[in-house]
């Protein structure tokens, strides 16, 4: 996935998973928005990846599959390629 494709996917899906980002990481949304404006996908992926490891496993897994989980995982697991 190119950087442009990844950013488009982020834009199209962020509202689906932002609820748990805001719940567990209250300051992260503003940081992600700033990085989005800068198109800094490297830092965005890094932040989302860090969140992935910090989220409670008992609630955020493929079995529980909370709203937005699949979209979130797609962004983390398929980062943009360097152009």
| 29-76 pLDDT tens trace | 999 999 999 999 999 999 999 999 999 999 999 999 999 999 999 999
End-to-end CA distance of the chain: 10
Please state, as a whole number, how many other Cβ atoms lie within 10 Å of the Cβ of residue 62.
Answer: 8
Query: Is 72 inside a domain boundary?
Result: yes
Domain that holds residue 45: 3-77
Query: Is 17 inside a domain boundary?
Result: yes
Confidence at residue 1, expressed as pLDDT on a 0 to 100 scale: 93
Count of structural domains within the chain: 1
Confidence at residue 47, expressed as pLDDT on a 0 to 100 scale: 98
Query: Is 83 inside a domain boundary?
Result: no
Query: Is 28 inside a domain boundary?
Result: yes
| 7-26 pLDDT tens trace | 999 999 999 999 999 999 99
Quote the CA–CA distance of 9 and 81 in Å, as a whole number: 14
Query: Is 82 inside a domain boundary?
Result: no
Query: Is 59 inside a domain boundary?
Result: yes
């Amino acid at each position: 996935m190119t950087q442009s494709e990844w950013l488009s996917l982020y834009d199209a899906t962020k509202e689906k998973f932002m609820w748990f980002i805001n719940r567990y990481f209250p300051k992260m949304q503003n940081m992600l928005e700033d990085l989005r404006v800068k198109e800094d996908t490297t830092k965005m992926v890094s932040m989302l990846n860090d969140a992935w490891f910090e989220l409670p496993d008992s609630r955020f897994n493929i079995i529980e599959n909370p709203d937005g989980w699949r979209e979130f995982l797609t962004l983390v697991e398929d980062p943009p390629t360097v152009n």
